[in-house]
Copies of this chain bind each other. A is one copy, B any other.
Amino acid sequence: MNEKFFDLKKEKQDRMINAGLQLFAVNGYRNTSTDEIVAGAQISKGLLFHYFNSKAGYYSFLYDYITRYALLELNTRIKPGKHDFFELERDFLRAETALMDQYPSYLLFLDSVRLEQDKEALSSLNQPEQTVFAFYAAREAESDYSAYLRMDSRDTFCSVLGYVKAGIMREVIRDKARGSAEYQRRMGAVLDSFQRLAASL
């Protein structure tokens, strides 16, 4: 189905990807009309359906594509093995920042998928081999936490970090701040703060 899509000129592909990421991320699935999408991507109505069959098919494609793309980047930057826990989190932060530079709405889109409530949208999604969030969990699980044992459960702490990450990201993008830099600054500060706390004798 979607293979045909990759025969298009890269520039057109990118227009079609970015239009969807941005619109779905900002407005949600239901509030994004196919009219808006084709206007944003500067293509005709028919073409959207030619390549993706349906709005839901397009949504699903974007999710697959961006998941794969992000995992490629993450795998390249963050090799398996024992990392110091906070070093690892800072690697994540760097990778996220780099990805945001390429696909500005990347994180907001992935987060909006988690918050998506539309049944049609949700049931269109393929379970990916590995989600971006599963990748995080895997690396965090094998990381070296021994210096921070005063924070009882690593799992609890990771989920706390996850909530904070999602919260900051949402605010950053809502405020239309210069995305990646602002996000990096605020999340970096939280990591510093926690590390100091957890490491104090």
Contact = CB atoms under 8 A, between A and B. Distances in A.
Contacts of A30: 28, 30-31
B151 A190 contact: no
Q: Which of A27, A28, A118 has the most CB of B within 10 A?
A: A28
A139 interface: no
Task: Please tell me how many copies of the chain the complex holds.
Answer: 4
Contact of A160 (B159, B160, B200): B160
A78 interface: no
A197 B163 contact: no
Interface residues of A, number: 29
A98 interface: no
Contacts of A160: 160, 164, 190
A147 interface: no
Interface stretch (A3-11, A55-63, A129-137, A166-174): A166-174
Contact of A151 (B151, B156, B170, B197): B197
The 7 closest A-B pairs by CB, nearest first: A163-B167, A163-B163, A163-B164, A30-B30, A30-B31, A27-B117, A31-B118
7 contacts: A27-B118, A28-B28, A159-B167, A163-B164, A163-B166, A164-B164, A166-B167
Interface of A: 26-28, 30-31, 115, 117-118, 150-153, 156, 159-160, 162-164, 166-168, 170, 189-190, 193, 196-198, 200
